[in-house]
Each structure stands twice: as structure tokens, then as C-alpha cells.
A and B are shown apart, each in its own frame.
Chain A
Amino acid sequence: MSIASDLIRGHTETIILANLLSHDSYGYEINKSIQQKTAGQYELKEATLYTAFRRLEEGGLIASYWGNETSGARRRYYAITTKGRLTFARLKVEWNAAKELIDILIAEEGDYAN
């Protein structure tokens, strides 16, 4: 695991919330879409994913329910709650602010010379 994935791991919960904004989803589907969005560069370990699910559910940011699949094993779906949406919006603002600050702080001489 590279330093980049360590950095990303700190935002696992934000990433999961982002994946639930448009529709309910389940563990493997979320991880698959993370893989596809990053062209295979990033994938969550299952243990990380389920730990985040438990925390988010405990915090009331997501809710889970069992699907009624007609074939195969039933899936456990997660849905984002209103509290989850509000938290996501806040986390996104915070991240954008942090990103800008870090960009400024690590900028090399001349990067910002106009």
C-alpha cells in the first residue's frame, strides 16, 4: 500500500457516502464502482469497508436493509440518511478547504508567480 492509499483511507467514510448519494448500494457494488472510477488504482479492503459501514450506521449516517434477491444469496443494502447527506456536504467542504491549503503549503517557488 502506497502513501496515497493511506491518505485515501482516512476518507473511506466520505467515499462511501458519496457512492450512496444517488442510489442505495451494497458492499461489493460500492467497491467495484470505486475500482472503476479509479481505473483499478484503488480498492478498499473488505475489512475496511465493513468497519466503515458499521461506524456510519452507528452514527445514523446510513441505514441498512436486506434485499429480497430471487436467485442467489440476499444482499445487504445501504441507504444514506438525511443526516448522512448533511455530513457528506460538510465533509466535502472541509476536504476542499484542506486541499487548497495543502496545495498552497507545498507549492514550490514560482508555482504561484503570475
Chain B
Amino acid sequence: MQIRFIRMIDDLFRGVPHSRKVLELKEEMVQNLMEKFNDLLAQGKSEEAAFEIAAASIGDIGDLVRELRKDDPFYAEGEDETIVIHGMDSIDGMDPEPVYAPPPPTPEEMLRRSATAVSTATMLFIVSPAPLLLFRNRMGVLLLFAMIAAGVGLLVFNRLMNPRAADRQAESLENWEEKPDAERKKLFQSLVSAFWLVVTAVYILYSFETDNWYISWVIFLFAAAVSELLKIVFKPNPKKLYGRVSGAIVLSSVAFYFIISFATDAWHITWVLLPLGVALSNVVKAFLQIKRK
């Protein structure tokens, strides 16, 4: 029964960032709902009736969500209307299917689809060196990375479309509150590995093509900067926000330093880009801090 309450609360708070505060509130709400549910059972109510009564006692969480949002720098005032809050009111109405019920999946079909995706991806990974051996030129490298990218894409897509893994995680009670974070983390990690693969492919292709090995490596500096920015988008952690933004700026300025220096050969002056980059990163950092306050 606890899992039903957990699912319901998870659903109510869908779209709310998973800060520590929110996770603690969810835990608190589930605990109190369970206690209420058990009391209702002791009073002789049926399981279903007790669940419905407890669920109906939650009320409209709109104000609560706004209250939690107040100290979240990623949600400015007035953005609330973009968040859908699933009301619990329909419970005592005509709706026979409660709003928090997970959509009924057909397990066999999900499993089959997932197995097909995973085995296709594995096959792609295994076969991917073949074009390199066949063509022994740029075409081979291109095909190799195309196949790896297709395989990674399949795996990412499979993880998105197949909620079974997520369900299984929800069932383990000890770490229920980490569930959404864990899911997000996995998705993020697949994206990051795909990203680095693409960057490496671009690096190798560009270098072979132009023979500019002396400078092409700076793509990795840019890639590191972009991955820092990706982290800001996917793991909104206010505490690390400033560090990541300023890190990205410093990395980019180092990359520009090398590009401009090699291009112009003006090494005697280009070094000023480095202190400028550091200064800019500090200005942005200070600006973000002020804006947050």
C-alpha cells in the first residue's frame, strides 16, 4: 500500500525540482498518509475506502509547490502556470480511473521491444570496426562512428520508452525517494557518453581531413565547457551553478587563446585572453549571485 501512496505523491509533485526539501516533504507526506490509512483500517474501513479517504485529504498542493519554488533560482516568479498540478478532486467524482494510476503497460510487448533495441545496439557496437577494416580511409571512420552513434541512440531511446526499469526501482522501498534522481542521472550519463563519442568522432575526422593536429585538440576544451553547461541544464544544483558557469568560461577562453595564437602567431599578446577570461568568469559569477539574491 505504501507504494501506492508513494506513486501518488510522486505524481502530484511531477515537474517539481528534486531538491532535498522536496524529497523530505514527500517522505513526510507519505509517512503521515500511511499512518492515517492505518488508523482508518483500524476503524473498520476497507483498504480501498481508506486509501480514497486519505488521498482526498491531501487537497490542492498548488500553494505548497509555490512555497517550495520560492527559493529555487530556476523558477522565476510568474512561471507557475507552466506547471500542471494533478488535482485529487476527481477522486470523489465520476472518474473511475484515479488520476495517479500508472498507465497499464503490456509487459510482454515492452520486454520484447526493449530486448530488440538492446540486441540491435549490441550488434551495431560489435560490427562497427568492420567498415574501418574494409575501407581503410575516412569513409571507414565515418561509418564506425555512425554505427556507434546509432547504437547509443537506440539505448537512450529504449531507456526513455521503457518504464519497466523505473517501476522496478520504485518498488524498492529503501530508495524510493532517490528514484526520479537516479532515472535522470542515468539518462544524463547516456547523453554525456553519446556527446563525448560525437566529439571524438568530429576530432578525428577533422584532424585527418585537415591535418591540423596542432590545434584540433582544443575541441575537447570546448566539449568540456559544453558538458559543464549540460550539467547545469540536467542537474539543476544551485550550489554548483556558479562554479560550472565560470568553469565553462575559463575553459572556453583557454581554447580561444590557443586558436587565436596559432591563427595569428601573436603569442606575445594573446596571453591577455587568459586573465580576461578569468576576470569575465568572476564577473559572471558575481552577477549570478546578485541575481539570485
Q: Does B67 count as interface, using CB distance less than 8 angstroms? A: yes
Query: In whole Å, how far is B253's beta carbon from the nearest beta carbon of chain A?
Result: 40
Q: Which of B9-51 touch A at CB < 8 Å?
A: 24-25, 27-36, 39
> Are A26 and B32 in contact (CB-based, < 8 A)?
yes
> Are B35 and A28 in contact (CB-based, < 8 A)?
yes
Query: In whole Å, how far is A56's beta carbon from the nearest beta carbon of chain B?
Result: 11
> Are A46 and B67 in contact (CB-based, < 8 A)?
no
> Are B59 and A46 in contact (CB-based, < 8 A)?
yes
Q: Does B90 count as interface, using CB distance less than 8 angstroms? A: no
Residues of A within 8 A of B35 (CB): 28
Q: Does B119 count as interface, using CB distance less than 8 angstroms? A: no
| Complex Cα spacing A31 to B36, Å | 10
Q: Which of B166-207 touch A at CB < 8 Å?
A: none
Bin chain B's interface residue count: 20 to 34
Residues of B within 8 A of A26 (CB): 32
- Residue of A32, A47, A73 near B63 (CB, 8 A) is A47
1/0 per residue, CB under 8 A from B, across A45-77: the answer is: 111101100110000000000000000111110
> Are A28 and B32 in contact (CB-based, < 8 A)?
yes
Residue on A nearest B59 in the bound complex, by CB: A45
- With A43-B57, A45-B59, A76-B24 in contact, is A54–B68 under 8 Å at CB? yes
Q: Does B80 count as interface, using CB distance less than 8 angstroms? A: no
Query: In whole Å, how far is A57's beta carbon from the nearest beta carbon of chain B?
Result: 10
Main secondary structure of the interface of B (DSSP, over half): helix
| Complex Cα spacing A76 to B128, Å | 54
| Complex Cα spacing A27 to B57, Å | 13
Q: Does B84 count as interface, using CB distance less than 8 angstroms? A: no
| Complex Cα spacing A69 to B198, Å | 50
Bin chain A's interface residue count: 10 to 19
- Residue of A31, A54, A72, A75 near B67 (CB, 8 A) is A54
Residue on B nearest A76 in the bound complex, by CB: B28
> Are A46 and B29 in contact (CB-based, < 8 A)?
yes
Residues of B within 8 A of A47 (CB): 58-64
Residue on B nearest A66 in the bound complex, by CB: B24
Residue on A nearest B62 in the bound complex, by CB: A47
- Residue of B36, B39, B62, B64 near A50 (CB, 8 A) is B64
- Residue of A45, A51, A76 near B57 (CB, 8 A) is A45
> Are B63 and A75 in contact (CB-based, < 8 A)?
no
Residue on B nearest A26 in the bound complex, by CB: B32
Residue on B nearest A69 in the bound complex, by CB: B31
| Complex Cα spacing A32 to B35, Å | 11
> Are A46 and B27 in contact (CB-based, < 8 A)?
no
Residues of B within 8 A of A51 (CB): 63-64, 67
- Residue of A27, A43, A45, A54 near B32 (CB, 8 A) is A27
Residues of A within 8 A of B62 (CB): 47
| Complex Cα spacing A70 to B174, Å | 15
Residues of B within 8 A of A46 (CB): 29, 32-33, 57-59
Residues of A within 8 A of B58 (CB): 45-47
| A to B CB contacts below 8 Å, 24 in the list | A27-B29, A27-B32, A28-B35, A43-B57, A45-B59, A46-B58, A47-B59, A47-B60, A47-B62, A47-B63, A48-B59, A48-B63, A50-B25, A50-B29, A51-B67, A54-B64, A54-B68, A55-B67, A72-B31, A73-B27, A73-B30, A74-B27, A76-B27, A76-B28
